[in-house]
């Protein structure tokens, strides 16, 4: 195969933890999105060769197989679940691309789904027989001193790069304003529980200034909220794409590890690698979707990669939507698919442990 093509891409709305999607399980969120992708492309469920699904909080059990069966895909679709935390949704699309280019599949559904509201409680057993201890963040490195909580890593990044709270608050206010102006686009699959992102609001500088401080310059306003949601893309081979009305080429992509204690900067190297693969400079990009887990992380990636801020997150970002961890990367790709009308676009995300992923799409 000479290329892999994204021919449909949809998502649910993103709802804050404990909100409108709080009673929905992974299959409840994912299956309507999968059905919409197949319908958009006019491809029957029976034509799907594989489902690659990112999930970070579901505690195993291969949710991809659960979702594949619930979505009415053939029983031959085994489904593969990956956990690269925030980067997983984009990595699922890169894996789909690799399967297509290797000639192992013609039609692959790829994306992510997360229910932060219904995530299992985590307990670490005591080998000496004592009571199990609850924990929230698992270890992402073998070195505790290089494995900071994400909030502390964000604050360290702000201090290292001199990115003030004022700059972060300006970014988050702009993110909400852009999201409010864009409204609910055609990328969203309406569910009975909601058809528009549930968190975007008319955030003012005064409101941002009053937000609860999490650590230093990091506040409840300039950090993305935990959320529920699903997003998928349909990736196909040349043979399938040639008969479809819309197809964006997955031109390049890269996932790279960086310094574990600096997860916010990891996408910069991945962006450079992906742009080099595509034979592009940052200035060649028409649009970019950059993850906003924290405003400081988005600012650092835009600056470090030399992206044009005017072309970044033109419809708002995760600070205005929320962060359904395993699905967030796929949400970026879905938005890019719908907004990119010509030229090249970038989707990029950082993940715990110092991981960055970047994907370049081309609208021909």
Say which DSSP state 18 is in.
T
With CA atoms as reference, report the closest residue to 197 among 184, 211, 210.
184
Say which DSSP state 23 is in.
T
Q: Which residues contact 200 (CB under 8 A, 6 or more apart)?
A: 176, 179, 180, 316, 320, 321
Relative orientation angle of helices 266-278 and 295-305, to the nearest 10 degrees: 40
Q: Residue length, the chain?
A: 364
- The span from the CA of 330 to the CA of 336, in Å, is 10
Asked if 10 contacts 37 with a C-beta cutoff of 8 angstroms, the reply is yes
- The span from the CA of 14 to the CA of 222, in Å, is 17
- The span from the CA of 71 to the CA of 68, in Å, is 5
Whether 86 is a known active-site residue: answer yes
Whether 323 is a known active-site residue: answer yes
Q: Which residues contact 257 (CB under 8 A, 6 or more apart)?
A: 266, 353, 354, 355, 356
And the tokens for 64? 């991809």
SS3 11: strand
Identify the active-site residue in 37, 176, 323, 338: 323
SS3 34: helix
Identify the active-site residue in 37, 86, 176, 301: 86
Q: Which residues are marked as active site?
A: 86, 323
């Amino acid at each position: 195969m000479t290329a892999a093509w994204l021919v449909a891409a949809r998502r649910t709305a993103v709802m804050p933890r404990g909100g409108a999607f709080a009673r929905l399980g992974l299959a409840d969120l994912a299956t309507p999105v999968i059905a919409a992708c197949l319908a958009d492309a006019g491809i029957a469920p029976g034509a799907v060769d594989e489902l690659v699904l990112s999930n970070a909080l579901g505690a195993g059990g291969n949710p991809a197989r659960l979702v594949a069966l619930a979505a009415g895909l053939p029983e031959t679709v085994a489904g593969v679940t990956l956990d690269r935390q925030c980067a997983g949704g984009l990595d699922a699309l890169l894996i789909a691309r690799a399967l297509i280019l290797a000639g192992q599949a013609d039609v692959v559904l790829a994306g992510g789904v997360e229910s932060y509201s219904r995530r299992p409680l985590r307990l670490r057993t005591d080998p000496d027989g004592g009571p199990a201890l609850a924990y929230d963040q698992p270890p992402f490195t073998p070195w505790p001193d290089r494995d900071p909580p994400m909030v502390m890593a964000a604050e360290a990044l702000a201090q290292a790069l001199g990115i003030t709270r004022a700059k972060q608050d300006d970014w988050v206010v702009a993110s909400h304003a852009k999201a409010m102006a864009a409204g609910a686009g055609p990328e969203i699959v309406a569910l009975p529980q909601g058809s528009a992102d549930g968190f975007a609001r008319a955030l003012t500088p005064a409101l941002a200034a009053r937000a609860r401080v999490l650590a230093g310059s990091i506040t409840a306003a300039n950090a993305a909220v935990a959320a529920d949601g699903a997003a998928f893309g349909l990736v196909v081979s040349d043979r399938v794409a040639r008969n479809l009305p819309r197809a964006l080429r997955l031109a390049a992509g890269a996932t790279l590890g960086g310094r574990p204690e600096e997860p916010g900067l990891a996408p910069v190297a991945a962006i450079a690698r992906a742009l080099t693969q595509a034979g592009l400079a940052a200035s060649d990009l028409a649009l970019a979707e950059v993850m906003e887990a924290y405003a400081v992380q988005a600012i650092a990636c835009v600056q470090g990669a030399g992206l044009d801020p005017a072309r970044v997150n033109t419809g708002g970002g995760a600070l205005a939507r929320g962060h359904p961890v395993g699905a967030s990367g796929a949400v970026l790709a879905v938005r890019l698919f719908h907004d990119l009308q010509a030229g090249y676009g970038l989707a990029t995300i950082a993940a715990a442990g110092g991981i960055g992923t970047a994907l370049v799409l081309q609208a021909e």
